[in-house]
Chain A
Amino acid sequence: MANATANEPILRVERLDKHFPIAGSNLTVQAATDVSFTIGRGETLGLVGESGSGKTTVGRCLLRLTDPTAGRIVFAGQDITTLSGHALRRLRPRIQMVFQDPHDSLNPRHRIADIVAEPLRLAGMHDARERAARVGELLEMVQLRGFGDRFPHQLTGGQAQRVAIARAIATKPDLIVLDEPTSALDIAVRADIINLLMRLQREFGASYLFISHDLTAVRHIADRVAIMYLGQLMEIAPAHALFRNQLHPYGKALLSSVLYPDPTATPARFVLEGEIPSPIHVPPACPLHTRCPLARPECATIPIWLEELAPGHATACTRAIAESWTTVPDVEPVAAMVGD
């Protein structure tokens, strides 16, 4: 895939916070806290984490489906954090999204052709014949030729997701946020959707933010992977490096839990204690310290930051960072903006 460091990233997220207030109390759901990352042109960033980790919230912030509490979102050099109204709608053709539940993301009263045509119409393609021709091309690309007259309920989950993908690529966007695009699908069609997405990326060069809890899918499609826990980034690294070696205990726990369909592969199990706390009461300092078997007293007091310990591979584990200082004393502790 494209080298992210070679050119200006298509997306730069800086210190993004999203805290949902809870009505009738002073508490907030801390869905995302101090999240920073970049996505290069033509690159796929996998964003993984368990339910409640805030990964979907981050994706929705990028599309401005929710407004961030703090931080900056810079898309193609333009700050889009506070765009609204007409300016925001003009940006829409360039950032698209594919949703988790394919049937729910298609208006049940519209025909497939109208669904795929909608972003084209709104982007200013007013000639109906031109639009119909383009819709035909798009449906062909997702292998649904002749499906234009059908309604969503007549499609299988995999077909519906192809329609959603056709709609997302209709305006040739620079960035597509894929929010768990395969997790609602039957196992048999997941691979097809992943392969379709990868083929389309080769053809159009769009960047992907691939949000998923399915680590095998992420390993397959992503160039880099970011791991979230309780709204915060724990680790971010090139995919091959991360799957070989994790620099954060949470990354270790997550990856050692994956059950590969191979009885001979028995990874060393790294088990966390207890269960994920509520995002209303996120533990201070390192959010993992309440469950981490390697935690030391200072993990509960020192605020975390991401630091690059290997090329492109950053971790938020203060213990791992401290150990790296002692083992490689000449490395300057530089707070890294990962992926630049």
Chain B
Amino acid sequence: MEPLLDVRQLTTDYVTYAGTVRAVDRVDLQVFPGELIGVVGTAASGKSTLAYSILNLVPPPGRIVGGEVWFEGQNLLTLPEKRLQQVRGSRIGLIVPDPRRHLNPLMRVGDQIAAVMRAHQRVGKATAQARARDLIATVGIPDPEWRMRSYPHELSGGMCQRIAIAMAVANNPNLILADEPTAGLDVTVQVQILDLLRDAARRQGSATMIVTRDLGIVAHYCQRVAVMHEGRIVEVADTRAFFADAGPIGQSLLRATMLARGETAAAPDSDTVASARR
């Protein structure tokens, strides 16, 4: 199958006064249409930076220093900013952790969803508003007519993430990048949000890349998993195959995730991933 997203030798540096950190190191990754792929790794393994590099949206002092990102026949890294903006939010949707901070606090959430649609499609204000209301209903928020007139601070963290998902899928993107979409949410809300994300992607046939440190999410929602470690992708596997027989980094992550059933009682006392690194 032809990949929807083809990342080749992507390399991103963070340049600080203390020196240069290679956050993403010659990464190759393919995402196929309609699939759910999990990118897992510990903190600072470069998994979030990878997601933002794909959108050519690395926050300073980060800098993409090499590689190609092929998406729908074009290399996003050489695309002019204007064309790139047409891709972002339209062909590729982005979901960030802690959505409340990324929603405009002075704008009603319905207007924000409508604005995303109007930025990329030729729709009238009334149509966009009506579609925004439908979307709010689709993401499982009761009483959408009333809720779309709320400001972000009036909504719970879970509801804000629902709004963020509505925004991400508003323009029927072919790819959704979700960076820690349930960080900071309670477990009962987490599964609701993940169900919603999976269903929304499935309905539109979008591929989804979930960046997470939680192997539980990967196990239950992703078909494939890519393991990142120190900026590199060290393992790509089908989910079932991964959990049956993971590579060394994947093993240490699995052990660290403290498998249920008390099987980790014998886990080594030293930094598990650190020892795998040595």
Contact = CB atoms under 8 A, between A and B. Distances in A.
**A adjacent to B, CB under 8 Å:** yes
Interface stretch (A3-11, A270-278, A294-302): A270-278
Contacts of A191: 255-258, 264, 267, 272
A199 interface: yes
A263 B186 contact: no
Interface residues of B, number: 43
A220 B272 contact: no
A254 B187 contact: yes
B270 A260 contact: no
B59 interface: no
Contacts of A276: 156, 186
A199 B268 CA distance: 12
A260 B219 contact: yes
A254 B188 CA distance: 6
Contacts of A263: 219-220, 239-240, 243
Contacts of B42: 186-188
A261 B269 contact: no
A255 to B, nearest CB: 9
B200 interface: no
B158 A275 contact: yes
Interface in B165-219: 186-192, 213-219
A145 B43 CA distance: 25
Interface in B250-266: 252-260, 262, 264-265
Interface in B46-86: none
A190 B214 CA distance: 12
A66 interface: no
A51 interface: yes
B215 A275 contact: no
B19 interface: no
A269 B271 CA distance: 34
Q: Which of B187, B190, B240, B255 is the most central at the interface, judged by chain A CB atoms within 10 Å of its CB?
A: B187
A234 B175 CA distance: 42
Q: Which of A194, A262, A269 is the most central at the interface, judged by chain B CB atoms within 10 Å of its CB?
A: A262
A213 interface: yes
Contact of B216 (A188, A190, A259, A275): A259
Interface residues of A, number: 39
B49 to A, nearest CB: 16
Contacts of A260: 216, 219, 259-260
A195 B156 contact: no
Interface in A150-198: 158, 186-192, 194-196
A122 interface: no
A215 to B, nearest CB: 7
Nearest to B156: A275
Nearest to B191: A257
A186 B257 contact: no
A274 B162 CA distance: 13
B44 to A, nearest CB: 8
B214 A259 contact: yes
A192 B272 contact: yes
A42 to B, nearest CB: 18
A50 B186 CA distance: 6
B218 A261 contact: yes
B29 interface: no
A322 B142 CA distance: 32
Contacts of B190: 257, 259
A275 B220 CA distance: 22
Contact of A269 (B186, B191, B262): B191
B273 interface: yes
B278 to A, nearest CB: 14
B243 A188 contact: no
Nearest to A194: B258
A196 B186 contact: no
Contacts of A274: 142
Interface of B: 42-43, 142, 156, 158-159, 186-192, 213-220, 239-240, 243, 252-260, 262, 264-265, 267, 269-274
Interface of A: 50-51, 143, 158, 186-192, 194-196, 199, 213, 215-217, 219-220, 253-254, 257-266, 269, 271-272, 274-276
5 tightest Cβ-Cβ pairs between the two chains A and B: A259-B216, A50-B186, A261-B215, A188-B273, A186-B43
5 contacts: A50-B186, A158-B271, A187-B253, A275-B159, A275-B189
